A and B are shown apart, each in its own frame.
Chain A
Amino acid sequence: MSLGVLDRPLLVVVGSGGVGKTTLAAALGLTSAAEGTDTLVMTFDPSLRLKDALGVGDEALNQEVPVEVDTPGRLDVSLLDARRTFDQLVRQYAPSEAAAERIFRNRFYHHLAGNLAGILEYMAVERLFEVSRSGRYQRIILDTPPTRQALDFLGAPDRMVEFLESGPVRVAQRQWFDASGRLAVKPLKILGRSIESWLDRLVGLDLLRDMAEFFQAFGPLYDGFRERAGEVGTLLRAPGTHFLLVAGPGGERIPDALFFARRLREGGHHLGPIVVNQMHPELPVRIPAGGDLEEGLRLLAWLGSRDHRGFAELKSLLTARETVVGLPLLPTPPTDLAALDELGRLLLGTLAGARS
Chain B
Amino acid sequence: MTQRARLPVHQGLLDRLASCRLVAVTGKGGVGKTTLAATLARLLAARGRRVLLVEVDPRENLHHLLDVPPSGGAVIKVDDWLWLENVQPVRVLEELVRQKVAVAALARKIVGTQVFRHFAEGAPGMKEMAVLGHAMQVVRGEAKPKVDLVVLDAPATGHGMSLLWAPLLVSEVLGKGPLGRLAGEVADLVRDPEQVAVVIGTTAEEMPVQEALELIAGLRERLGRPPELLVVNGLYPPFPEHAGRGPSGAKAALALWRQRREVNERELDRLSVEWRGPRVDLPLLALERGPALVTALGERLVKAVEPAEAR
Seen from chain A, the residues whose Cβ lies within 8 Å of a Cβ on chain B are 16-19, 44-45, 47-49, 82, 107-108, 111-112, 114-117, 120, 145-148, 163, 166-168, 171, 188, 190-191, 195, 198-204, 206-207, 211, 248, 251-252, 255-256, 280-281, 283-288, 291-293, 295-304, 306, 329, 331-333
Alpha-carbon distance A202/B123, docked complex (angstroms):
14
The answer to whether A107 and B173 have CB atoms under 8 Å apart is yes
6 cross-chain pairs, A with B, having the tightest CB-CB distances, nearest first: A18-B30, A204-B177, A17-B29, A115-B124, A292-B240, A331-B259
Write the nearest CB–CB distance from B154 to chain A, whole angstroms: 11
Alpha-carbon distance A107/B173, docked complex (angstroms):
8
The answer to whether B30 and A111 have CB atoms under 8 Å apart is no
Alpha-carbon distance A296/B114, docked complex (angstroms):
57
Write the nearest CB–CB distance from B256 to chain A, whole angstroms: 5
Does B3 belong to the interface (CB within 8 Å)? no
Q: Nearest residue in A to B180 (C-beta to C-beta)?
A: A204
Does B278 belong to the interface (CB within 8 Å)? no
Question: Which of A199, A248, A333 has its CB near the most chain B CB atoms (within 10 A)?
Answer: A199
**Residues on the B chain within 8 Å of A120, using CB:** 159-160
The answer to whether B113 and A188 have CB atoms under 8 Å apart is yes
Write the nearest CB–CB distance from A45 to chain B, whole angstroms: 7
Write the nearest CB–CB distance from B162 to chain A, whole angstroms: 11
The answer to whether B158 and A285 have CB atoms under 8 Å apart is no
Question: Which of B30, B110, B122, B155 has its CB near the most chain A CB atoms (within 10 A)?
Answer: B122
Seen from chain B, the residues whose Cβ lies within 8 Å of a Cβ on chain A are 28-31, 57, 59, 97, 100-101, 103, 106, 109-110, 113-119, 121-122, 124-125, 127, 155-156, 158-161, 169, 172-180, 205-208, 210, 236-237, 239-240, 242-244, 246-250, 252-260, 262-263, 284-286, 288-289
The answer to whether B31 and A293 have CB atoms under 8 Å apart is no
Residue B263 contacts which of A108, A145, A204, A332 (CB distance < 8 angstroms)? A332
**Residues on the A chain within 8 Å of B106, using CB:** 190-191, 198
Q: Nearest residue in B to A196 (C-beta to C-beta)?
A: B115
**Residues on the A chain within 8 Å of B246, using CB:** 293, 297
Residue B156 contacts which of A17, A112, A302 (CB distance < 8 angstroms)? A17
**Residues on the A chain within 8 Å of B127, using CB:** 117
Write the nearest CB–CB distance from A254 to chain B, whole angstroms: 12
With A284-B249, A285-B249 as known contacts, state yes or no: A117 contacts B173, CB within 8 Å: no
The answer to whether A299 and B175 have CB atoms under 8 Å apart is no
Residue A206 contacts which of B175, B207, B253 (CB distance < 8 angstroms)? B175
Alpha-carbon distance A166/B121, docked complex (angstroms):
12
Q: Nearest residue in A to B255 (C-beta to C-beta)?
A: A331
The answer to whether A148 and B178 have CB atoms under 8 Å apart is no
**Residues on the B chain within 8 Å of A252, using CB:** 288-289
The answer to whether B206 and A333 have CB atoms under 8 Å apart is yes
